[in-house]
């Protein structure tokens, strides 16, 4: 069904673009090589995580626009990353209807391989919310002076084994997921953002999931510092206590011309006695989710051309109260056009 809709959407926007304006097409491709220590998931070395995407966009009029992004996911399955029709009344008010990347923090909407310095997505991405978190509904965004805002309402996240498994493309209850991000730019080099999301996530409309987030970006001529923090609270049925999770990363990138070093520290903590492996429904709890891990990432980014990136990265992984030999070397080729 998703593939059929993608094909029909492409035909429609190409036909519409021919009639009313030019269709713009951009694309990207990336591939990873991973080799880890003996207790990692990549002890023998593996080439994987192939990602390829196409983005079609255009305008029917200066006020009405559209975009469609199709990307390969796990097992090379094509999925719609975003598909929306938009109306822009002004810089202060822009409306999008359809499938959008959720503007929670900064990384989620700009985590494609050619947009990042790291090979592996940092905590809390993919831990406290799904990687490339998307939703079907309505998104309103705009800029007023030094304030940027984005507010959205859609199907929301579903209940699953963990928060990473909450992505859905239908609504599992009568409640809508609602959220907002406010970004403040007191200067050209600094942006500070706050994010909030809340919605019922169980099938019976009884229990809330809420997410809070902070992000900051400081950009100068020769360096860039990014930081992002997220916190999740999950209501659970009695007698289980509320689940809690939090994570953050801090990243420093240096500009040395074609070769740029990057270092990041990341940490994630997860406590939830109700969900976890084996979770099926409120009538069958899982084994629980309990983890406290951190990661140092040391990397280099080589960019001989603005459309080509070659990254190498070494992840030093640590799990509280466990001694594991699971550090991982990663290399990635990323191209966009």
pLDDT in tens, 221-251: 999 999 999 999 999 999 999 999 999 999 9
* Sign of torsion over alpha carbons 151, 154, 160, 165: negative
Those residues of the chain that have pLDDT short of 70 are: 1-21
d(CA 84, CA 66): 6
Query: In angstroms, what is the C-alpha Rg of the chain?
Result: 21
Instruction: Name the domain count of the chain.
Output: 1
Give the count of alpha carbons within 13 A of 324, CB side only: 19
pLDDT of residue 74: 77
Q: Which two tokens stand for residue 38?
A: 């003996």
d(CA 15, CA 186): 43
Does the pTM surpass 0.85? The reply is yes
d(CA 100, CA 155): 12
CA angle 104, 108, 113 (to 5 degrees): 165
Q: Please report, for the domain that includes residue 270, its CATH number.
A: 2.40.160.10
List Cα–Cα distances, 248 to 143, 192, 212, 265, in angstroms.
26, 15, 12, 8
Any domain includes 321: yes
CA angle 95, 100, 101 (to 5 degrees): 125
d(CA 302, CA 309): 6
pLDDT of residue 11: 47
Any domain includes 13: no
Any domain includes 52: no
**Chain Cα centroid distance, residue 237:** 28
Any domain includes 5: no
pLDDT of residue 199: 98
Any domain includes 1: no
Any domain includes 109: yes
Any domain includes 263: yes
Any domain includes 55: no
What is the span of the domain harbouring residue 107? Answer: 76-336
**Which among 268, 264, 261 has a CA at the least distance from the CA of 318?**
268
d(CA 62, CA 300): 41
Q: Per this entry, what is the length of the chain? A: 337
d(CA 99, CA 102): 9
d(CA 175, CA 177): 7
Provide the strand spans (E) within the chain.
24-36, 46-59, 64-72, 78-90, 93-101, 134-144, 147-154, 177-187, 190-200, 208-219, 223-234, 243-254, 259-272, 289-305, 308-319, 328-336
Are 276 and 314 contacting, i.e. CB atoms less than 8 angstroms apart? no
Which DSSP symbol is given to 121? P
pLDDT of residue 22: 81
- Predicted confidence (pLDDT) per residue in 301-326, tens digit: 999 999 999 999 999 999 998 999 99
Are 306 and 299 contacting, i.e. CB atoms less than 8 angstroms apart? no
């Amino acid at each position: 069904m998703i593939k059929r809709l993608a094909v029909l959407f492409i035909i429609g926007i190409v036909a519409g673009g021919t009639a009313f304006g030019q269709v713009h097409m951009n694309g990207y491709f990336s591939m990873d090589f991973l080799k880890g220590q003996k207790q990692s998931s990549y002890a023998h070395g593996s080439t994987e995580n192939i990602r390829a995407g196409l983005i079609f966009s255009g305008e029917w009029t200066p006020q009405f626009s559209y975009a469609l992004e199709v990307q390969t996911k796990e097992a090379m399955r094509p999925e719609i990353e975003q598909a929306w029709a938009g109306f822009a009344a002004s810089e202060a008010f822009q409306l999008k209807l359809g499938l959008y990347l959720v503007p929670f923090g900064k990384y989620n909407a700009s985590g494609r391989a050619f947009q990042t310095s790291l090979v592996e997505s940092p905590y809390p991405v993919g831990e406290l919310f799904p990687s490339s978190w998307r939703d079907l509904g309505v998104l309103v965004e705009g800029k007023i002076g030094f304030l940027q805002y984005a507010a959205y309402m859609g199907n929301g996240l579903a209940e699953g084994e963990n928060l990473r498994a909450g992505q859905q493309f239908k609504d599992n209850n009568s409640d809508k997921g609602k959220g907002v991000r406010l970004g403040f730019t007191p200067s050209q080099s600094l942006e500070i953002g706050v994010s909030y999301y809340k919605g019922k996530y169980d099938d019976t409309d009884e229990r809330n999931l809420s997410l809070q987030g902070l992000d900051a970006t400081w950009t100068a001529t020769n360096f860039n510092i990014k930081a992002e923090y997220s916190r999740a609270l999950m209501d659970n049925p009695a007698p289980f206590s509320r689940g809690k999770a939090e994570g953050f990363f801090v990243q420093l990138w240096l500009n040395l011309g074609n070769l740029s070093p990057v270092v990041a520290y990341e940490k994630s903590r997860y406590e939830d006695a109700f969900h976890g492996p084996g979770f099926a429904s409120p009538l069958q709890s899982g084994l629980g989710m309990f983890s406290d891990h951190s990661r140092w990432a040391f990397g280099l980014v080589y960019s001989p051309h603005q459309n080509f990136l070659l990254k190498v990265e070494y992840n030093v992984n640590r799990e509280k109260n466990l001694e594991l030999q699971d550090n991982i070397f990663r290399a990635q080729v990323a191209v966009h056009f």
